[in-house]
Structure 1
Amino acid sequence: MKTMIAALSLAATLFGANAQAETLKVGFSPEAYPPFWVPSPGGEWTGWEPEFIDALCAEAKYDCELVPVAWEGIIPALLGGKIDVILNSLRINDERRKVIDFSDKYYEVVTEVVAAKEADLGIEPSDMAGKIIGVQVSTGYQTYAQKNYASDAAEIRGYASQDEAYQDLAAGRIDVVLDGSIAMNEFLKTSAGACCESKGVLPRDVETLGEGYGAGLRKDETEVKERLNSAIAALRENGTYDTITAKYFDHDIYGDAQ
């Protein structure tokens, strides 16, 4: 009898260990980026991406823990093992593929040029002659500006956050900001954003602006990648993705099918 009880106890212990979800440390930059990341008064994060992360982790059978990391250090934090994955509107592009891997994309937006309403300019390099362009550091926007505008612009000024770039744009300290259309529209809705408007959509440049936004992973994390890819596909197929998206947007943000 004691032997049977011991065997049952061992089986229950093993079953419980196998049933427990693995912990996945999810790195994100703790800065407001509405409607993707919105801080609450209680210190929690709400928005499209935290909701998507919750659903993704549940579908992939992971117990996810959000770990705040400064944006400029988020890839080093991944490579150093401080976090297991980046889920923070990280653009998929070839430059980053040199050091990390990516899941399939989970959303995509176009990039626009934002400037003062009275500014007579477009999106061509000649339009940027003598202008100060604000971009968030370590982003596709910065890479695009350096590739296409550096020889004409007076300066390409890097910011730790997109919000800081918009503050300087509203104050007249810079002339132009490059940003994704969704975050740009959120800025234009604010009182500070009343100064400005979109001057046009940048052409789709896969080399700099990427192929959409995906989860950043270490190159040897094959199992994590496969589980996240399967979960992304499942959320798209079972309607969860659309249900979450409808809370924040009036259109599909996934973009073209891969």
Structure 2
Amino acid sequence: MSKGITHIWRHPIKSHGREPLESASLIAGQCLPGDRVWAVAHEASEADGSNWVPCANFSRVAKAPQLMALEARYDETSEQVTLIHPGQGELTFSPDSDADLPRFLDWVRPLMPENRAASARVLRVPGRGMTDSDFPSISLCNWASHRAVEAAISHPLSPQRWRGNIWFDTGNAWEENDWIGRDVQIGEAVLTIRERTVRCLATTTNPDTGIRDADTLKTLRDTWGHQDFAVYAEVIQDGAIRVGDNVKVL
């Protein structure tokens, strides 16, 4: 079975929507372009945009399931993001604009649980995306592993539950977990596989409805003895990638 890329996804604002791409230009030491450029700090957060901080500082799907139903479109020329939600409609705004912040906070407020810290500000960290890893990462997801989880849980699952960047199919479930410490070539770029991705409550949420409806974490633990899906990689050689490009372990 081909190891070619089937999908490339970016998430312009952390936990606030996804966007498909046909291609991307990877740069050594950086995230997928346009991925997690911004994050939404909540009112109890100490994040100030000066450096990377853990995900607990931000509004995210694990605490606000309705955020999972968001889709996003990022216009890199205007630096504007359009968010689309089945219950809220659309909002186009500039995440860097203080003037646009009240509109965004008003729009997203109904998606946030009342018992959680409210969203307060949007920030970015210069030079990197706000990934869950403490290094600028790109997540690689194997369709074979996704199918294994679907079989174990006994019903279909949207791959968007995993919020991955690059999807491919080796035909062998969990093969990607054996790549830790190795390099892979994807299109013209080379990445080194750093670590497995430990999953959280967000993956229990349906991306179409924003409702928690599948115990993915229990399925992973009971069936395979871990809570991991996908691997984090770091770009070590610049290069373009496109849907259809092969993923080759070096």
Q: Please say whether Structure 1 and Structure 2 have the same fold, judged by a TM-score greater than 0.5.
A: no
Q: Which is higher, the Rg of structure 1 or of structure 2?
A: 1
Scaled to the shorter chain, the TM-score interval is under 0.3
Q: Which structure dedicates a bigger proportion of its chain to helix?
A: 1
